[in-house]
């Protein structure tokens, strides 16, 4: 009686046992030998195919991981570029806003005196006229002209004239109330806008401005500085240009009557 073979503990050991049984001459006539040999051959083919599939799978996973890492790297790089572009864009937008604000301020201010220019004053006149009609509270305008300013330019030069204009601008601004508006109207003329101010009180303010200008002392000037002022009260419903024309007429009257005067 043949000894019963020991059962294998794993697949490799089982294959070795099957191969040994097939090679044993004692089993040459066994009817199960040929099917077993065929089964072993099929198993070896399947094992080879499985190993090939595993290699292919491992290779695919390796390539997939590399591609994933590459894609992640590319994504990170692209994200970094976009973040950098966003920062640059933000700085550019901020610079544009700052430049726009600077240009706007420059377009509304007189470069010599730093006061509002004619454009600025026209905008404020439009706003104040709308407010005056809405609240039924008129404002008073004053046009101030520096007396004999041409003589200062002719005698001491235009640089001296510019220095005098800057000092006059500071004197006007310093004598006004916080909510009053003043600006350079053109040349040696300045415009003063006094919201919700009746004519009699506007005269007091104009007198204070006039005294402030007279108090100016410049070392290179051996003559005093004075100014003439024409006042006009806004009439509800009219165009502010009408108010300006009356103030201009009052200024001409002050000049005609000897300068250093307040008319209106």
Distance between CA atoms of 184 and 117, rounded to whole angstroms?
Answer: 5
Distance between CA atoms of 57 and 14, rounded to whole angstroms?
Answer: 27
- Give pTM, 2 decimals: 0.65
Secondary structure (3-state) at 4? coil
Cβ atoms of 189 and 168 closer than 8 Å = no
**Tens-of-pLDDT digits for all 264 residues of the chain?**
445 555 556 666 767 767 777 677 766 777 766 776 777 677 777 777 878 878 887 777 777 777 777 777 777 788 788 788 778 777 767 776 776 666 666 788 999 999 999 999 999 999 999 999 999 999 999 999 999 999 999 999 999 999 999 999 999 999 999 999 999 999 999 999 999 999 999 999 999 999 999 999 998 888 889 999 999 999 999 999 999 999 999 999 999 999 999 999
What are the catalytic residues?
Answer: 188
For the 118-263 domain, the top CATH level (class) is alpha beta
17-48 in b/e burial notation, b at 16+ Cβ within 10 A? ebeebeeeeeeeeeeeeeeeeeebeeeeeeee
Secondary structure (3-state) at 261? coil
Greatest extent of the chain over all pairs of C-alpha atoms, in Å:
154
């Amino acid at each position: 009686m043949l000894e019963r073979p020991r059962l294998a503990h794993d697949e490799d050991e089982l294959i070795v046992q099957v191969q040994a049984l097939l090679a044993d001459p004692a089993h040459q006539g066994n009817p199960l030998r040929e099917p077993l040999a065929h089964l072993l051959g099929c198993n070896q083919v399947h094992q080879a195919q499985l190993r090939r599939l595993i290699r292919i799978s491992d290779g695919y996973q390796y390539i997939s991981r590399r591609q994933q890492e590459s894609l992640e790297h590319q994504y990170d790089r692209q994200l970094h570029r976009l973040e950098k572009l966003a920062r640059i864009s933000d700085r550019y937008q901020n610079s544009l806003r700052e430049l726009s604000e600077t240009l706007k301020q420059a377009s509304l201010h007189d470069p010599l005196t730093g006061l509002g220019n004619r454009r600025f004053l026209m905008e404020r006149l439009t706003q104040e006229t709308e407010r005056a009609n809405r609240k039924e509270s008129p404002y008073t305008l004053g046009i101030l002209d520096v007396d004999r300013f041409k003589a200062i330019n002719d005698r001491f030069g235009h640089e001296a004239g510019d220095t005098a204009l800057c000092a006059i601008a500071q004197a006007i601004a310093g004598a006004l109330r916080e909510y009053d508006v003043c600006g350079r109207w053109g040349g040696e003329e300045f415009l003063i806008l006094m919201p919700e101010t009746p004519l009699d009180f506007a005269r007091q303010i104009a007198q204070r401005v006039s005294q402030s200008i007279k108090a100016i002392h410049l070392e290179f000037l051996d003559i005093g500085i004075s100014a003439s002022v024409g006042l006009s009260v806004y009439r509800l419903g009219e165009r502010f240009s009408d108010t300006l024309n009356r103030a201009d007429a009052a200024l001409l009257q002050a000049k005609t009557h000897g300068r250093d005067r307040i008319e209106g």
